[in-house]
Amino acid sequence: MKIDLSGKKAFVTGSSGGIGRAIAVALSHSGATVAVHYRGDEAGARETLAQMRPDDGHLMLQGDVSEKDAVAGWFRSLHDAWGGLDIFINNAGIDGEKQPLAESEVDAWEKVISVNLLGGYYGVRQALQMMLPADGGVILSVTSVHEKIPWAGQSAYCASKAGISLMTQSLALEISDQNVRVLCLAPGAIKTDINKDVWSDEEQLADLKEKIPMRRMGDVEEIANLAVAMVSEEVGSYMTGTTVFADGGMITYPSFAKGG
């Protein structure tokens, strides 16, 4: 079976690097025309474009996902340029500083929620307003194993990812009879800049591998290829309102491998 996204229009937030870039690149090589989005890293976004299948229809959008007017503006641009949108990848996110909740800085906590949860909501809402009248589309949010796994010092991040997951399930109840599918993809520890502090430190990397039954970190392509499959009709046509985990087994309580 071959996945063919020819003619499909896709928008990937946070695609100037990491998982977002890999998804944009994979979508384009499966035939889609893609809008790359970045906040500050224009050079990164240009590199994503350079890695994509050449297509005059590709676009580049800039701004902050936590600013709802900016988000609305991007969707107007997509509408003007393409006339519609088939695939929305809600990917942009931050993990924020580690801080125990009791001593957390309110601004820092709010920032993570603004970007990951509110920013995701703004994008998904706008995407729906284009897709529902057109009677078709797929929305995939990149969450994390931390939509399920608690993480000390990262309560805002966990709350934001769990929020997107349950938002998606609730949304599925509202619209699943209208040809728009809504999904979450939950990566585990994928080697990107977001966790460079961990994988570049021998001790921390060894500790991380203890938490992964497959005993290795994932690659961005392993997430990107799965995202392409999930949004495609060839693989994903009967999937909605669910999360697929790609985490080397991280959500299986690895500490129970021994004892108990």
Among 18, 20, 119, 188, binds ligand BGC (CB under 6 A): 188
Output the smallest distance, CB 95 to ligand BGC, in A: 5
CA 33 to chain centre: 18
Burial class of 153 by CB neighbour count within 10 A (0 to 12, 13 to 18, 19+): middle
> Quick one: 78 or 94, whose CB is closer to ligand BGC?
94
Among 34, 36, 127, 189, binds ligand BGC (CB under 6 A): 189
Among 35, 140, 145, 227, binds ligand BGC (CB under 6 A): 145
Instruction: Identify whether the C-beta of residue 45 lies closer than 8 Å to the C-beta of residue 37.
Output: yes
Contacts (CB under 6 A) with ligand BGC, residues 190-249:
194-195
* Active-site hit among 38, 121, 122, 157: 157
CA separation for the pair 219, 242 (Å, rounded)? 22
Instruction: Using the rule CB under 6 A, give the single segment among 7-15, 67-75, 186-194, 230-238 that binds ligand BGC.
Output: 186-194
Output the smallest distance, CB 258 to ligand BGC, in A: 21
Output the smallest distance, CB 226 to ligand BGC, in A: 15
Among 25, 95, 120, 163, binds ligand BGC (CB under 6 A): 95
Token pair, residue 205, equals 């990397």
- Edge-to-edge strands of the sheet including 9-12? 59-62, 33-38, 9-12, 87-90, 137-142, 180-187, 242-246
Place of tokens 């979508």: 27
Q: Is 238 a catalytic residue?
A: no
CA 228 to chain centre: 12
* Max CA distance (Å), the chain: 60
Among 144, 160, 168, 232, binds ligand BGC (CB under 6 A): 144
Q: Please tell me whether residue 147 binds ligand BGC under the rule CB under 6 A.
A: no
| β-sheet bridge partners, residue 11 | 35, 88
Instruction: Identify whether the C-beta of residue 88 lies closer than 8 Å to the C-beta of residue 11.
Output: yes
Instruction: Using the rule CB under 6 A, give the single segment among 12-20, 48-56, 70-78, 188-196 that binds ligand BGC.
Output: 188-196
Among 8, 9, 39, 146, binds ligand BGC (CB under 6 A): 146
- Contacts with 245 (C-beta within 8 Å, 6 or more apart), sequence order: 145, 148, 186, 188, 251
Output the smallest distance, CB 202 to ligand BGC, in A: 16
Which residues contribute to the site for ligand BGC (CB under 6 A)? 95, 144-146, 188-189, 194-195
**Residues labelled as active-site residues:** 157
